Amino acid sequence: MYALKLDQAKRQARAARPMRRRLSLAAWIALLPMALTVVFAYLGTMLWTARVSVSYSRSLPTNTFAGFTQYVRLFETERWIVSLQNLAIYGVCFVVACLVIGLLLAIFIDQRVAAEGALRTIFLYPYAMSFVATGLVWQWILNPELGVQAVLRHMGFTHAHFDWIVSQQFVIYTLVIATVWQASGLVMALMLSGLRSIDDEIWKAARLDGIPRWRVYASIVVPMLKTSMSTAFVLLFVMVVKLYDAVVAMTQGGPGTASEVPGKFVMDYLFNRANIGLASAASIVLLATVLAILAPVLYAKSRAARKGERA
């Protein structure tokens, strides 16, 4: 009887092999367009940009090899240095503010508040808007003649000042305000998913020991959110490097170059100043920066995941 069942199982396995092969072939065919897109549209354009960045290309690409001439010229351009400084200030403020506000919103919703679903939707809704729409809305809000400053003065606060958007010293922080408003909801969603995965036994033990709730969050729960925080950091950092739409919609890089960022520098030199060699060099510098920062983060994350699987 056992031999008969074993022989029957072998025949069924042999009969199932062609079906598995067909399913595998269908999966590869379905993935082929995406694979071609990755190879040609992403890797191909990266390699082409790197090639152009070491040439003397101006309005049109050329094959004349220039070595690192474009990179030297790039870092001798004051506008590029200013854009990097602005991006550094913006990036630190944006990432820190999004992580803090997103975590606080997630902790607030984690208290099982009334209308939780509606609150999650409200906090996450700004992320569904484009950066252009966000920039235009906040340009109106921060406009000294139409926005917050005008409202305060109409209310009787005649000496109220909130003209950051036209101030060279503070304009970069208006970009932080607008984009934090948009992106903190995404961080909230990531943190909330991490909070909801915390074992309830931890909370029961904390209540039995009489540990204050804030202390449980600070000492136990937040350190357990490393995966959610690292994911949020990666997404936020990519947003920092890609910053362009909000700048164009809100400030056009001004006043002067006070809100100039590398993304706008690249687009201006690519289309307005017809210097694709310099624009390509700037793009490769940004790519190298992203890889240099994200690679260690992703490596540490994958290493921690492997250790968790072994445990």
At residue 22, the pLDDT reads 62
Residues 209-223, mean pLDDT to the nearest whole number: 84
- Cut 0.75: pTM above it: yes
At residue 79, the pLDDT reads 93
Domain-located, residue 281: yes
At residue 11, the pLDDT reads 59
C-beta of residue 222 within 8 angstroms of C-beta of residue 103: yes
At residue 279, the pLDDT reads 92
In the predicted structure, residue 236 carries a pLDDT above the cut 90: yes
User: Measured in whole angstroms, how far is the alpha carbon of residue 24 from the centre of its chain?
Assistant: 34
Instruction: Identify the burial level of 73 via C-beta atoms within 10 angstroms of its C-beta, where 0-12 means exposed, 13-18 middle and 19 or more buried.
Output: middle
User: Measured in whole angstroms, how far is the alpha carbon of residue 105 from the centre of its chain?
Assistant: 19
Greater model confidence, 186 or 36: 186
Domain-located, residue 58: no
Domain-located, residue 201: yes
Greater model confidence, 81 or 31: 81
At residue 42, the pLDDT reads 79
At residue 218, the pLDDT reads 85
In this structure, of 24-33, 62-71, 178-187, 229-238, the range with the lowest mean pLDDT score is: 24-33
Domain-located, residue 10: no
Report CA Rg, the chain. Answer: 26
C-beta of residue 191 within 8 angstroms of C-beta of residue 228: yes
- The domain that holds 281 is classified in CATH as 1.10.3720.10
Query: Tens digits of per-residue pLDDT, 274-303?
Result: 889 999 999 999 988 888 887 887 777 777
In the predicted structure, residue 66 carries a pLDDT above the cut 70: yes
Separation between Cα atoms, residue 133 and residue 137, nearest integer Å: 6
Domain-located, residue 173: yes
Q: What is the number of structural domains in the chain?
A: 1
Q: Where in the sequence is the domain holding 210, given as residue range(s)?
A: 78-310
Indicate the pLDDT class of residue 69, thresholds 50, 70 and 90: very high
At residue 174, the pLDDT reads 94
Domain-located, residue 234: yes
Mean pLDDT, all residues of the chain: 85
**Of the spans 244-253, 285-294, 301-310, which averages the highest pLDDT?**
244-253
At residue 15, the pLDDT reads 53
At residue 310, the pLDDT reads 64
Query: Tens digits of per-residue pLDDT, 164-202?
Result: 898 999 999 999 999 999 999 999 999 999 888 888 888
Domain-located, residue 11: no
Domain-located, residue 15: no
In the predicted structure, residue 13 carries a pLDDT above the cut 70: no
